[in-house]
């Protein structure tokens, strides 16, 4: 009995350490997005330039927060303490650190284009995409990283579902809903990548790969509707 308690306590300590590492890695990724960049503003002009980055930073921060929170939900509700889960979680952190750069660039270019459309001017010190081909490459990087992160989360939930033998039906339904959301998110990202590869350069075609991510709302809606139907049938 004492031996089992020691093993359980050691497993919990290891899990807490890993959780701290994953949270710190996401916090580091978010810190890269800091609106002031790598230098502290030295005067009012530089501070105002930094404030121009707030909209892009807010969207980038929210996107990164979504992936972090999805991982938190997984480890709190259906975590499996084994090597496979650790490896997949480390892959998620790896892709998050890669994802942060195209993430920030995509939103910076988007808000710069919106500002230019309303005012006819570019944001000071903003990212400018001069060629449509460069925007295509940026969408390819963004979509690939997004798909990889969603795929890692899907693998985590799929792995957990194989070990949820003692879980309630409600817990299994919730885990499957999260799995379907991640698979759907990965599909949307890959569709954006495909469109970016085949769409003509220039004109409004350059914006289509970005608009495809609005399909995520349908992914959430369909998964939520399926979950509610299954829960109603189980009750």
Cα separation of 4 and 122, whole Å?
A: 64
State the pLDDT at residue 226: 93
Candidates 210, 156, 224, 212; CA nearest to 188 is: 212
State the pLDDT at residue 119: 66
Spans of the chain, pLDDT less than 70:
1-16, 33-50, 115-132, 201-204, 235
Tokens of 63: 């996107």
State the pLDDT at residue 3: 46
Candidates 193, 10, 33; CA nearest to 104 is: 33
Cα separation of 66 and 62, whole Å?
A: 6
List the domain range (segments joined by +) for residue 66: 2-234
Domain count, the chain: 1
């Amino acid at each position: 009995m004492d031996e089992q308690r020691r093993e359980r306590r050691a497993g919990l300590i290891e899990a807490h350490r890993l959780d701290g590492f994953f949270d710190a890695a996401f916090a580091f990724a978010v810190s890269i997005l800091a609106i002031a960049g790598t230098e502290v503003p030295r005067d009012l002009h530089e501070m105002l330039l930094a404030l121009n980055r707030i909209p892009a930073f807010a969207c980038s921060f929210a996107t990164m927060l979504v992936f972090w929170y999805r991982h938190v939900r997984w480890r709190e509700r259906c975590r499996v303490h084994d090597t496979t889960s650790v490896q997949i979680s480390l892959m998620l952190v790896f892709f998050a650190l890669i994802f942060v750069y195209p993430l920030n660039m995509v939103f910076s270019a988007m808000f710069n284009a919106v500002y230019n459309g309303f005012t006819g001017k570019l944001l000071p010190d903003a990212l400018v995409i001069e060629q449509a081909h460069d925007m295509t490459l940026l969408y390819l990087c963004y979509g690939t990283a997004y798909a990889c992160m969603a795929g890692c989360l899907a693998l985590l939930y799929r792995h957990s579902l194989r070990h949820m033998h003692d879980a309630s039906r409600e817990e299994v339904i919730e885990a499957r809903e999260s799995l379907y959301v991640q698979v759907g998110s990965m599909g949307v990202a890959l569709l954006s990548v495909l469109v970016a590869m085949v769409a003509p350069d220039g004109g409004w075609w350059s914006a289509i790969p970005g608009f495809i991510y609005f399909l995520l709302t349908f992914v959430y809606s369909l998964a939520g509707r399926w979950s509610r139907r299954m829960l109603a049938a189980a009750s």
